[in-house]
A = this chain, B = another copy of it.
Amino acid sequence: MNLDQFPSKLLENAVTEFAKLPGIGKKTALRLVLHLLKRETDEVHRFSDAITRLKDEVMHCQVCHNISDTEVCNICGNGSRDHGLVCVVENIRDVMSIENTQQYRGVYHVLGGIISPMDGIGPADLEIDSLLKRVEIGEIREVIFALSTTMEGDSTNFFLFKKLKNSNIRITTLARGVSVGDELEFTDELTLGRSIVNRLLYEQIIS
């Protein structure tokens, strides 16, 4: 279906706006908009208000730059967490992923991206200076690099490592290895190679 002829300009605008979202084509956009049009007026208002309010009112934590409803986020404001242990992540989703493991009791630092010259993202575009300042203050004992295991992630790690190596803190990175539940024959050679070089004591796994 060619979507050039809309019976209404208002409909066309709404479809055009929806189709700007990633992974949403014009056909899907039309389906979603017609769905909204069938819903009750206050439901539709609730939908658009939720988006406007998010954009207008959401804050970024002054300490870790995670999304927050308050000036300091729940995690940074939580006294029972280990504030000497900082996990450096690319974005908010990574914080959510790690939080959902329920295995981490430290705090975070959200860079807001990774160094990627191809996309025009340099160190100055990321929250790197504020990380260095947090380390300078001296309360941080260990920084964990938890960035993507891509070339961009690796170069960001290396950039941060150069900046931090004289700070007298422990610098660690996520363990790389065979995924839990993966079969060896489907594990890529690089991961398998690293996981045999950095092999663990069996006792560590079963504990």
Contact = CB atoms under 8 A, between A and B. Distances in A.
Interface of A: 1-11, 13-14, 16-18, 20-24, 28, 30-37, 41, 44-58, 66-69, 73-75, 91-93, 95-97, 99-100
Interface SS of chain A: helix
The quantity of this chain's copies bound in the complex is: 2
A96 B14 contact: no
A13 B51 CA distance: 8
9 contacts: A6-B96, A10-B53, A10-B54, A11-B92, A21-B36, A37-B58, A41-B55, A47-B51, A48-B52
Contacts of A10: 50, 53-54, 57-58, 69
A22 B131 CA distance: 41
Contact of A34 (B14, B28, B41, B92): B92
Contacts of A30: 93
A47 B7 contact: no
Given A51-B47, A96-B1, A35 B21 contact: yes
B69 A9 contact: yes
